[in-house]
């Protein structure tokens, strides 16, 4: 199962952010930025413990914003990005502010 969290354009930049369950069972949030002549890919992979922290932090933040959290990590991530509560810039700050750790991977192709 893969859920699109964000898909949009900013000038020549096309950005897509999805979440899915990795073959290891861990939650993964994967992003791809496509610009003129380059591609940047990145992924955040969460352990079970940090996924639980993320689920709780999202529920608290969504409820404070007036959006009802569902307790489903995929639905709550999707709601947070679609309502604008989170965006690609705020995402890493949100993780840091809530003490949520993850494995980060990225690559450039130009």
pLDDT exceeds cutoff 80 at 110: no
pLDDT exceeds cutoff 90 at 36: no
73, 74, 82, 98 from 52: Cα distances, Å: 9, 12, 21, 12
- pLDDT score at 87: 82
Beta bridge partners of 73: none
Structure tokens at 60: 């608290």
pTM recorded for the entire structure: 0.90
pLDDT in tens, 2-29: 999 999 898 899 999 999 999 999 999 9
pLDDT exceeds cutoff 90 at 100: yes
Q: What percent of the chain has pLDDT over 70?
A: 99
- pLDDT score at 1: 79
**Residue of 102, 17, 100, 5 lying closest to 57 (CA atoms):** 100
pLDDT exceeds cutoff 80 at 44: yes
pLDDT in tens, 68-89: 899 999 999 999 998 888 887 7
């Amino acid at each position: 199962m893969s859920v699109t969290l964000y898909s949009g354009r900013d000038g020549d930049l096309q950005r897509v952010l999805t979440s899915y369950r990795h073959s290891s069972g861990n939650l993964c949030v994967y992003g791809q930025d496509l610009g003129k002549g380059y591609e940047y890919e990145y992924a955040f992979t969460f352990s079970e413990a940090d996924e639980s922290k993320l689920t709780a932090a999202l529920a608290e933040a969504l409820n404070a914003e007036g959006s009802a959290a569902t307790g489903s990590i995929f639905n709550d991530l999707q709601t947070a990005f679609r309502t604008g509560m989170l965006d690609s810039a705020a995402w890493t700050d949100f993780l840091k502010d809530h003490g949520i750790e993850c494995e980060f991977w990225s690559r450039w192709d130009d």
